[in-house]
Amino acid sequence: MSFLNYLISGISLGSVYAIIALGYTMVYGIAKMLNFAHGDVIMVGAYVVFTAVSTWGLPAVPSILISMAVCTVLGILIEKIAYKPLRNAASPLAVLITAIGVSYFLQNLALLVFGSNTKSFTSVVPFPALQLAGGQLTITSVTIVTILACILIVLGLTAFINKTKPGQAMLAVSEDKGAAQLMGINVNATISLTFAIGSALAAIAGVLLCSAYPSLTPYTGSMPGIKAFVAAVFGGIGSIPGAMIGGILLGIIEIFGKAYISAQMADAIVFAVLIVVLLVKPTGLLGKKIQEKV
Amino acid sequence: MKMKMNKTAKQNAVTYGMVIAAFAVMQIMISTGHISSSLEGLLIPFCYYVILAVSLNLVVGVLGELSLGHAGFMCVGAFASAFFTKCMAETIPNSLVRFLLALVIGAVAAGIFGILIGIPVLRLRGDYLAIVTLAFGEIIKNLVNVLYIGKDSKGFHFSMKDSFSMGMEPDGMIIVNGPQGISGISRDSTFVIAVILVLLTLFIVLRLIQSRDGRAIQAIRDNRIAAESVGINITKYKLMAFTVSAALAGVAGVLYAHNLSTLSATSKNFGYNMSIMILVYVVLGGIGSIRGSVIAPVVLNLVLDYFLRKFQMMGSNVVLQFLSDNRMLVYAVLLIAMMLFSWSPKMIQWRERVFHRNTEKEAQ
Amino acid sequence: MAMLEVKNLGISFGGLRAVNGFDITIEKGQLYGLIGPNGAGKTTVFNLLTGVYQPDAGRITLDGKDLTGKKTIEISKAGVARTFQNIRLFSGMTVLDNVKVGLHNHHVYSALAGILHLPSYQREEKEMNEKAMELLRVFELEDAAELLASNLPYGKQRRLEIARAMATDPKLLLLDEPAAGMNPQETQSLMDMIRFVRDHFDMTILLIEHDMRLVSGICEELSVLNFGEILAQGKTEDVLNDPQVITAYLGE
């Protein structure tokens, strides 16, 4: 039974990673950059919900919506101010370093505003846990909501990309920015939209993450951000199903690693699995092999 | 070709000269007692940050690959050397000899890790290589934290779980104590040795770049396919750059470890945060500019630590107080501003218009 | 013995047979042209000859030596040099260094010798400098020696690419659309230079081209490639007057 408990925990944690990974993979596929600050947008999202619920006493759903709105605006602003000017820079490292700067900025801004002491995050999902198999299998409400959220988001995003005009525009820009522009697609708006969606998802991820693991500090987003990025690469960067599979697998590996091998080595195990996968399949599980033109 | 040799030799001389001049100035300040204890405490860190930046620039700027796990090699060098120093404290009482040996051990250990990691990793494409190097850096830090090594009359004992599993005799000595690391290290790092190591690092890296192998490495950066077409062994040279870089990072680790009495691996000193900090030095100093990698870490750390603290002591200016209390925030804003100013194509155009800079294009 | 002998060379990509049954014989010192419509597989043939792709059929023999299935580095060492459709220079390095990289396998010293400036370093570097400058003189680029390769005008970049290829001391030089992007005067200079390279270095040259003036001006023999297969082969005037070739290709 504990195996099932761990499995469900893993899928739940993995769902959070998947939601974060989606943001990374979309931005990478469409804007061709690694948004290092993505993990910290998660942290901002969590803090907004915390403030809304604890300080202003708002109920859960409006708080989450406010958080999504704040993060969406934040994501668009960051892109316009810090990333767009570097889109055609001589080195792709330039925008990466700037993203690192944005990450430091968000972390230290949160430090300034909220202080470094850990905030205790009250779960936004107040229904009782589900007890199955005579009490041996416990599924918390957070877990159910998290997994459901992940599934809905992936389905919604896939439908959006395949069936709507803005979604198809995103696909076109990811394939060939120049051609998309020539076809009349507003590349700037499409990229802004990508960041908007990714940041909104980050807000949701932040809420879900802190509901399951209730301690919140300015550095809370950092490691999950890195792990989610690993998940996105693992699943094949640029691929939406890849992000989902990568995220969930990573969550499962992490929880099983903690449970069956060693709690302290869990992170190392996660990274080790990534390395092994990339060595066998260098473009990730669902990644496309890109032929270099000679 | 005398002209070219002189030009490169001159540029190198300027770089060495800067280091020697800075050293001389610092030494004077130390011997006349004009140096604050906080600045004095930064002297050895300046040196290992420079070594870290220069060695990372060999991979990022000269080879053209993004490595995000540089701190992992520093960690290997630090722990291997500290372990040696602690074990040999009585066997080799002469601290200078022992420290020199520790330096070699740290460099070699880190270099070996460089080869081991480089072989599988260097054939990955850019972004994947970056994430795998980051992964390795984290794994190394993680592994070191679950390492328990002890020594008693029967020999060495080893465990990955806790200190008791080593099954040592009660009077055995714990050398590596898991997350608590290694304590009681002899603080053998001195400013003089550190500066010599900086000069040695520059010597190795600059000469390597300006040699046949250095040209091969740069050719791979500029056009891998063309490099292959003229018969350059891509794997060999990628590995060479990566390994030399790792070994030098190991040397920095030795300096770091022997500047403290207790060495432990946290996310702050050996995690991706440190790897990224070094990358920031490299980018701000100029990717590919070795001299820039000497200047950037020193200037940034001087500004951050030293001057802001000075402003704080100068007193009541509210703005300065705010800046000083939140220096990381200021640093982040400065970083973003600097990146935009130096790298944004629109910014570069504006600068050229305003300052009439020519772009050295040969008359067509 | 022919300098280059290729028999039945072939490769598929996915379900597409990109090159099929490719036969060619080039004698030493010949100026040979490979022409055909876009997408016919000409660069693919070059990539097969230089080990970028591995053929799934056929044999490649250079001056009697079997090069089939060998890697790019070995093929380069055996004496095949090439230039690329999109000029591939080492953009961050000087013009002189670009050529010195071409000399890489002919002047060897260890990394340690390079760091310590041992006698082997000093001797080989001196020779490399002299040889590289000599090549630059031959290609009229010696004034640009210290410039960054990316700062050269287009025509000179192409010349540098050829100079670098010649630095590898090849037996066979492959030029992939050397006249691409050139105006008529530049093309004429290029034609003179290619002839000069053949004469001065006693070089065997196989080139891919679309510019018919260049092809008919300097190539002695031609192969025409269409959909991966040879359509016609032989003396230039014969091939260019072949009705099949005209239909398939020379609609321009």
pLDDT digits 0-9 by tens, B99-154 = 999 999 999 999 999 999 999 888 887 777 888 899 999 999 999 998 888 888 77
Reply yes or no on whether the pLDDT at B246 is more than 80: yes
Residue C44: the pLDDT is 94
Reply yes or no on whether the pLDDT at C248 is more than 90: no
Beta strands in C3-142 (DSSP E): 4-13, 16-26, 31-35, 57-62, 65-66, 80-82
Residue B309: the pLDDT is 67
C-alpha–C-alpha distance, residues B197 and B259, integer Å = 14
Q: Which of C82, C100, C126 sits opposite B215 (nearest CB)?
A: C100
Beta carbons of C19 and C9 less than 8 angstroms apart: yes
Which of B230, B233, B237, B359 to mutate against chain C (most C CBs within 10 Å)? Answer: B230
User: How deeply is B199 buried, as exposed, middle or buried, from its count of CB atoms within 10 A (0-12, 13-18, 19+)?
Assistant: middle
Residue C32: the pLDDT is 96
SS3 B187: coil
Cβ distance C146 to B362 less than 8 Å, yes or no, reads: no
Residue B33: the pLDDT is 85
Judge whether A268 lies within some domain. Answer: no
Residue A80: the pLDDT is 95
Condensed to tens digits (0 to 9), the pLDDT of residues B210-223 reads: 999 999 999 999 99
Beta carbons of C81 and C166 less than 8 angstroms apart: yes
Judge whether B195 lies within some domain. Answer: yes
Which of B146, B267, B336 to mutate against chain A (most A CBs within 10 Å)? Answer: B336
Distances, alpha carbon C215 to alpha carbons A154, B172, C44, C207, C232, in Å: 56, 84, 19, 9, 15
Q: Which residues of C touch B223 (CB under 8 A)?
A: 88-91
Span B189-198, average pLDDT: 94
Helix B37-57 with B234-257: angle, nearest 10 deg: 170
Residue bearing the bigger pLDDT, B163 or B179: B179
Q: Which residues of C touch A294 (CB under 8 A)?
A: 43, 47, 52, 84
Residue B361: the pLDDT is 43
Cβ distance C111 to B227 less than 8 Å, yes or no, reads: no
Query: How many domains is chain A partitioned into structurally?
Result: 1
Cβ distance C114 to B207 less than 8 Å, yes or no, reads: yes
Residue bearing the bigger pLDDT, A172 or B328: A172
Residue B315: the pLDDT is 61
Q: Which of A82, A97, A108 sits opposite B328 (nearest CB)?
A: A108
Instruction: List the domain range (segments joined by +) for residue B63.
Output: 42-271
Q: Can you name the residues that pair with B177 across neighbouring β-strands? A: B148
Least confident of A133-147, B303-317, C67-81: B303-317
* % of chain A residues with pLDDT over 90: 43
Residue bearing the bigger pLDDT, B31 or A136: B31
Judge whether A227 lies within some domain. Answer: no
Judge whether B344 lies within some domain. Answer: no
Please name the residue ranges forming H helices in chain A: 2-31, 38-50, 60-78, 92-114, 141-163, 165-175, 177-182, 187-212, 222-235, 240-256, 266-280
Residue A293: the pLDDT is 62
Judge whether B122 lies within some domain. Answer: yes
Reply yes or no on whether the pLDDT at B363 is more than 60: no
Judge whether A92 lies within some domain. Answer: yes
Distances, alpha carbon A250 to alpha carbons A15, A192, B24, in Å: 9, 29, 53
Q: Is C52 on the interface with A (CB under 8 A)?
A: yes
Residue bearing the bigger pLDDT, B358 or B126: B126
Cα-to-chain-centroid distance, residue A147: 14
Q: What are φ and ψ of residue A151, in 5° steps? A: -60, -45
Q: How confident is the model at residue C250 (pLDDT cuts 50, 70, 90)?
A: low
Span A16-33, average pLDDT: 92
Average pLDDT score, chain C: 93
Q: How confident is the model at residue B360 (pLDDT cuts 50, 70, 90)?
A: very low
Residue bearing the bigger pLDDT, A124 or B359: A124
CA distance A275 to chain C (A): 27
Span C87-110, average pLDDT: 95
Span C189-217, average pLDDT: 94
Judge whether B248 lies within some domain. Answer: yes
Reply yes or no on whether the pLDDT at B359 is more than 60: no
Q: Which residues of B touch A239 (CB under 8 A)?
A: none
With contact defined as 3+ CB pairs under 8 Å, the chains touching C are: A, B
Query: How many domains is chain B partitioned into structurally?
Result: 1
Span A103-111, average pLDDT: 92
Residue B343: the pLDDT is 84
Residue bearing the bigger pLDDT, C160 or B176: C160
Q: Which residues of B touch C163 (CB under 8 A)?
A: none
Highest mean predicted confidence (pLDDT) among A53-57, B161-165, C247-251? A53-57
CA distance C48 to chain B (A): 12
Judge whether A110 lies within some domain. Answer: yes
Asked casually if ipTM beats, i.e. exceeds, 0.90, the reply is yes
Cβ distance A294 to B143 less than 8 Å, yes or no, reads: no
Residue B204: the pLDDT is 96
Reply yes or no on whether the pLDDT at B46 is more than 60: yes
Judge whether A185 lies within some domain. Answer: yes
Reply yes or no on whether the pLDDT at C48 is more than 80: yes
Q: Is A294 on the interface with C (CB under 8 A)?
A: yes
Judge whether B292 lies within some domain. Answer: no
Q: Is B362 on the interface with C (CB under 8 A)?
A: yes
Q: Which residues of A touch B287 (CB under 8 A)?
A: 91, 93
* % of chain B residues with pLDDT over 90: 49
Cβ distance C133 to B1 less than 8 Å, yes or no, reads: yes
Span B244-266, average pLDDT: 95
Instruction: List the domain range (segments joined by +) for residue A127.
Output: 11-221
Span A9-28, average pLDDT: 93
Residue B362: the pLDDT is 38
Q: Which residues of C touch B1 (CB under 8 A)?
A: 126, 129-130, 133
CA distance B359 to chain A (A): 14
Judge whether B317 lies within some domain. Answer: no
Judge whether B200 lies within some domain. Answer: yes
Q: What are φ and ψ of residue C195, in 5° steps? A: -60, -40
Nearest CA in chain A to B348: A89
Q: Can you name the residues that pair with A132 across neighbouring β-strands? A: A137
Reply yes or no on whether the pLDDT at B1 is more than 50: no
Distances, alpha carbon A33 to alpha carbons A238, B64, C101, in Å: 11, 17, 32
Q: Which of B131, B328, B343 sits opposite A230 (nearest CB)?
A: B131
Cβ distance A86 to B339 less than 8 Å, yes or no, reads: yes
Q: Which residues of B touch C89 (CB under 8 A)?
A: 222-223, 226
CA distance A139 to chain B (A): 31
Least confident of A285-294, B299-308, C198-207: A285-294
Query: What residues of chain B, 163 to 222, have a C-beta less than 8 Å from chain A?
Result: 179
- Amino acid letter, C49: L
Q: Is B359 on the interface with A (CB under 8 A)?
A: no
Average pLDDT score, chain A: 87
Residue bearing the bigger pLDDT, A28 or C164: C164
Beta carbons of A93 and A36 less than 8 angstroms apart: no
Cβ distance B213 to C82 less than 8 Å, yes or no, reads: no
How far the first Cα of chain B sits from its last, in Å, is 26
Residue with tokens 């990466």: A96
Reply yes or no on whether the pLDDT at B327 is more than 90: no
Condensed to tens digits (0 to 9), the pLDDT of residues B54-67 reads: 999 999 999 999 89
Condensed to tens digits (0 to 9), the pLDDT of residues A218-255 reads: 988 988 998 998 898 888 888 889 999 999 999 999 99
Q: Which residues of B touch C117 (CB under 8 A)?
A: 207
Query: What residues of chain B, 62 to 121, have a C-beta less than 8 Å from chain A?
Result: 66, 120-121
CA distance C83 to chain A (A): 11
Reply yes or no on whether the pLDDT at A282 is more than 80: no
